Structure formats: structure tokens, C-alpha cells
């Protein structure tokens, strides 16, 4: 199978690429390597992939129609597109809504339009738990999600429904995966777990928006990658929650574990709550269990310990990394 994987140098994308290569797929990775966060991390991830047989990489922007169309023409037949390329910052999307829309909604439409043209039968789209703002816990896929509170969430909703239109008219099989706060080694430096670990390790103030009691259904990145690869075999149009499958964990509990692991005291610095953030998230993952036979394998604190060990083993990269 030949897969076009967008966002291949990203956090989740690099794990999905590895999981695909392990299964013997050919992976055509693309990424525009933008500087939303420190690009050294993207090159670090990419370097681990470039040496692997079956992996090809193209530095292309999905919102650049001309370059993307030329890529589809050049690479030939594909079995599927997995679209993980996105601007993914909830708060940052309030600053740059046009960029978020252009990347996440228009970029996604570019892919669908080229899939239609080249008759690519399968599309897996990374979507988000952020869509569930204002709905009751635990979040189920049947709940209407028409009240996004960030341009990021709104742009993902646009991508979801446009994929539905392409499924309906052109028979493209679509799996929309709503990921719930993903964490793991070589993560994203704009996300809480990465920052908390670095701030505690470096002895810097740990910034917490709100009182720290907000909680997340954290999901280990390898579990997310397994679900994403499994979704390639689904037919029709399906929306699936990909969450941790356990009670959510509060940010304060995360910091306490990091303190104990590193044997360092965190300097907590509380800031006003952010209006674009959800207070709690919790996924009902029964649909993913039924349709994919998938269940998360990694316990939250085991995953957190693995993440901490990665931070301890990669100080040359991390000491100068901008948070």
C-alpha cells in the first residue's frame, strides 16, 4: 500500500509514519516544516525517518494548490491519504484565524479535490476533541458539535464536513479521528506535558492557565498511531474518538508526577483561564473499540514516565529549545 502522509515531521505524524513502515507500507511524507514551534524538533523527528526504507519526503505546503497538484502528478497512484498536517494550536488560532482556516480547511479541501481527480479511495483526517466544547461528558461521536470556541476547532469541523461531501459524491472512504490530548516522547513544545517537564527540569516557572484542576483525557502517541493505521481499513464515513480510555487527569496531577519523577519542586505560576480551552475532556471510545478492534495499551503514568525519560536522554536537543 502507498500512503500519502501529511504532517509527517509533526509529533503524531512521525509515529504514524513509523507504524506504517513497520507494517510494510510505502510512505510518502510531506510537511511544510513551518516555525510555529522550534523546527529543530521537526528535523529531529524527520531524521529518524529519512534513513528508513520505504519512506520518501517532500517539503510541501498543503495550502499551496500548485505544488500539491504537482506532487500528486509526480508520485502516481496512492491507496490512501492520511491528513495530519495542520496548524494545531487552540490559543494561537485566535491570533491567526485566517492561517488556521487556510491550512486546516482549505488545505484539506485541496487534498480531497486531488484525491477525487486521481481516484484515491481512502482518506483519514485528524480531527480534535476541541470540537466538543460545551457538550456533556463523556464525549460521544453522536453529540452535535456545532459550537466550536476556537478558530482551530471551527476549521477542523469544516474539514470534517467537507470530507463528508466528498464521501457522499465520490465514494471516498473517510475516517475522521478525533484525537484527545496526545502526549509522548518528542512531543509538541506548545502543549502542557512537554512544557511542564521542561519548566520543572529547568527550574523555570510552570505556567498554568486557571487553577490547574482542569483535566484531560491524555492519549499516548503510540496508541494514537495504531488507531490511525487501523482506520485505513474502514469503509464509508466514520467519526471516531481516539482517547485514553480512562478517567481524565488534572494538570496539577501531571505536575505532581513530574516533580516526584525528577525530584524537583515546581514553581507554579497561575494565569487567568483561557477562553478557547475546554475545562474537562473525556472520550467515549466504544465506537473505535467496535469498529477498529482498538483499545489504548499504554497506562497514563507509564507513558508519562517514558516521556520524562526521553526528556532526560535528549538534553543536547532540549537545553536550547525554545518553548
Ligand X SMILES: NC(=O)c1ccc[n+]([C@@H]2O[C@H](COP(=O)([O-])OP(=O)(O)OC[C@H]3O[C@@H](n4cnc5c(N)ncnc54)[C@H](O)[C@@H]3O)[C@@H](O)[C@H]2O)c1
Q: Is residue 33 part of the contact set for ligand X (CB under 6 A)?
A: yes
Q: Is 85 near ligand X (CB under 6 A)?
A: yes
Do residues 166 and 155 make contact, with C-beta atoms less than 8 angstroms apart?
A: no
DSSP class of residue 177?
E
Among 188, 229, 239, 248, binds ligand X (CB under 6 A): 188
The one among 132, 179, 294, 300 contacting ligand X by CB under 6 A: 179
Cα dihedral angle (147, 232, 172, 63), rounded to 10 degrees?
Answer: 60
Q: From the CB of 293, what's the least distance to ligand X, in Å?
A: 22
Burial state string for 169-186 with b = 16 or more CB within 10 A and e = fewer than 16: eeebbbbbbbbbbbbbbb
Compose the 107-126 pattern: x for residues touching ligand X by CB under 6 A, - for all others: x------------------x
Catalytic residue among 37, 123, 152, 183: 152
The binder of ligand X chosen from 88, 124, 285, 292 (CB under 6 A):
88
Give the separation between CA 276 and CA 84, rounded to whole angstroms: 21
Least gap, CB of 99 to ligand X (angstroms): 9
Pairing mode of beta strands 249-250, 215-216 = antiparallel
Nearer residue to ligand X within complex by CB, 34 or 289: 34
Q: Which is nearer to ligand X, 138 or 260 (CB)?
A: 138
CA 195 from centroid of its chain's CA atoms: 17
Q: Name residue, grid cell 472512504.
A: 173
Considering only residues 198 to 257 of the shown chain, the ones binding ligand X according to CB under 6 A are none
* DSSP character at residue 227: H
Cβ(129)–Cβ(181) below 8 Å = yes
Instruction: Give the CA distances from residue 294 to residues 180, 212, 223, 235, in Å, rounded to whole numbers and listed in that order.
Output: 15, 31, 9, 16
Looking at residue 280, the DSSP 8-state letter turns out to be B
Residue of minimal Cβ distance to ligand X? 10
DSSP structure class, residue 274: P
Binding status of residue 282 toward ligand X by CB under 6 A: no
Find the binder of ligand X among 18, 42, 157, 167 (CB under 6 A): 42
Smallest gap, in angstroms, from Cβ of residue 46 to ligand X? Answer: 9
Which residues lie across from 174 on neighbouring strands? 123, 237
32 binds ligand X (CB under 6 A): yes
Please identify, using beta-carbon distances, which residue of 212 and 219 lies nearer to ligand X: 219
Is 152 a catalytic site residue?
A: yes
- Select the residue interacting with ligand X from 93, 108, 128, 282 (CB under 6 A): 128
Q: Which residues carry out catalysis?
A: 152
Interface residues with ligand X (CB under 6 A)? 6-7, 9-13, 30-34, 42, 61-63, 84-88, 103, 107, 126, 128, 179, 181-182, 188
Amino acid at each position: 500500500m502507498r500512503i500519502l502522509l501529511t504532517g509527517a515531521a509533526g509529533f503524531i505524524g512521525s509515529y504514524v509514519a513509523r507504524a506504517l513502515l513497520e507494517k510494510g507500507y510505502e510512505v510518502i511524507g510531506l510537511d511544510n516544516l513551518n516555525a510555529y514551534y522550534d523546527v529543530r524538533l521537526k528535523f529531529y523527528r524527520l531524521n529518524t525517518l529519512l534513513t528508513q526504507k520505504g519512506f520518501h519526503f517532500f517539503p510541501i505546503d498543503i495550502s499551496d494548490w500548485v505544488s500539491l497538484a504537482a506532487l500528486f502528478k509526480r508520485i502516481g497512484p496512492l491507496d490512501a491519504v492520511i491528513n495530519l498536517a495542520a496548524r494545531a494550536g487552540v490559543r494561537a488560532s485566535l491570533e491567526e484565524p485566517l492561517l488556521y482556516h487556510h491550512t486546516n480547511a482549505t488545505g484539506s479541501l485541496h487534498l480531497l479535490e486531488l484525491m477525487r481527480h486521481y481516484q484515491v479511495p481512502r482518506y483519514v483526517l485528524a480531527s480534535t476533541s476541541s470540537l466538543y466544547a460545551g457538550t456533556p461528558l463523556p464525549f460521544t461521536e453522536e453529540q452535535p458539535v456545532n459550537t466550536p470556541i476556537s478558530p482551530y476547532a471551527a476549521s477542523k469541523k469544516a474539514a470534517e464536513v467537507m470530507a463528508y461531501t466528498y464521501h457522499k459524491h465520490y465514494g471516498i472512504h473517510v475516517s475522521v479521528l478525533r484525537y484527545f490530548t496526545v502526549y509522548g516522547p518528542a512531543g509538541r513544545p506548545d502543549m502542557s506535558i512537554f512544557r511542564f517537564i521542561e519548566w520543572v527540569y529547568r527550574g523555570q516557572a510552570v505556567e498554568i492557565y486557571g487553577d490547574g484542576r482542569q483535566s484531560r483525557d491524555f492519549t499516548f502517541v503510540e496508541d494514537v498511531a495504531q488507531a490511525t493505521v487501523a482506520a485505513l481499513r474502514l469503509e464509508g464515513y466514520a467519526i471516531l474518538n481516539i482517547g485514553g480510555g480512562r478517567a481524565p487527569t488534572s494538570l496539577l496531577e501531571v505536575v505532581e508526577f513530574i516533580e516526584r519523577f525528577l525530584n524537583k519542586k515546581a514553581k507554579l505560576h497561575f494565569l487567568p483561564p483561557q477562553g478557547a480551552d475546554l475545562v474537562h475532556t473525556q472520550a467515549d471510545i466504544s465506537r473505535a473499540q467496535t469498529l477498529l478492534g482498538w483499545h489504548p495499551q499504554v497506562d497514563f503514568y507509564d507513558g508519562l514516565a517514558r516521556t520524562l525519560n526521553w526528556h532526560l536522554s535528549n538534553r543536547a536537543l532540549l537545553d536550547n529549545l525554545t518553548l
